[in-house]
Amino acid sequence: MERRASCNCGQVSITTKGEPLRVSVCHCIACQKRTGSAFGVQARFNVDHTKISGETKIYQRTGESGGVIDFHFCPQCGATVYFSTVSMPDVIAIPVGNFACLTFNTVPQLGSQGDHKSAAQTFPHPSVSVYQVRALPWVSLSGINDVYD
């Protein structure tokens, strides 16, 4: 399956092929600030299964674990389009909200009764939660299999 992610203004986009390696939520302080929300949600893909269009600028920071993270953002609208780590150069993480559009994706799928359902209904649920110790007390997510503090 192909999915398309983009920044707010559409200048930068990513086309992905296949299912994500994993979908996870992160409760670290940096993700809370980056997203302006209680946590970040990202899907990881093998770089070989992505095609990036448009130019990005990079904001580099050192994470709480000591790893170096490159955040690629759109120079026009400022949205983080994807990020990568030095420790996993063959993988990029795409914020799940970047896949959002009116149907959450332009690629319809045939449902079990022949009706079309959007890829939003088939996008994998997060199964991993990291920095759980930093989760706000009112956050409760179902379907999480692996939790890391």
Give the separation between CA 68 and CA 62, rounded to whole angstroms: 4
Give the separation between CA 67 and CA 143, rounded to whole angstroms: 27
> Residues 25, 44: contact at Cβ < 8 Å?
no
80: buried, middle or exposed (CB in 10 Å: 19+, 13-18, 0-12)? Answer: buried
Could you tell me which of 62, 22, 41, 26 has the C-alpha nearest to residue 136? 26
Q: Please enumerate in sequence order all residues whose Cβ is within 8 A of that of 122, keeping only pairs 6 or more positions apart, or say none.
A: 1, 109
| Structural domain count of the chain | 1
Kindly report the pTM of this predicted structure: 0.85
pLDDT tens figures, 83-139: 999 999 999 999 999 998 755 544 444 344 444 444 445 678 899 999 999 999 999
pLDDT tens figures, 115-129: 444 444 567 889 999
Q: Which residue type, as a one-letter code, is found at position 30?
A: A
Output the domain CATH number for residue 90.
2.170.150.70
Q: To which residue do tokens 């983009």 refer?
A: 6
- What Å distances lie between residue 37 and 13, 14, 30, 48, 133, CA to CA? 22, 23, 11, 30, 16
Residue span of the structural domain in which 38 resides: 2-107+116-148
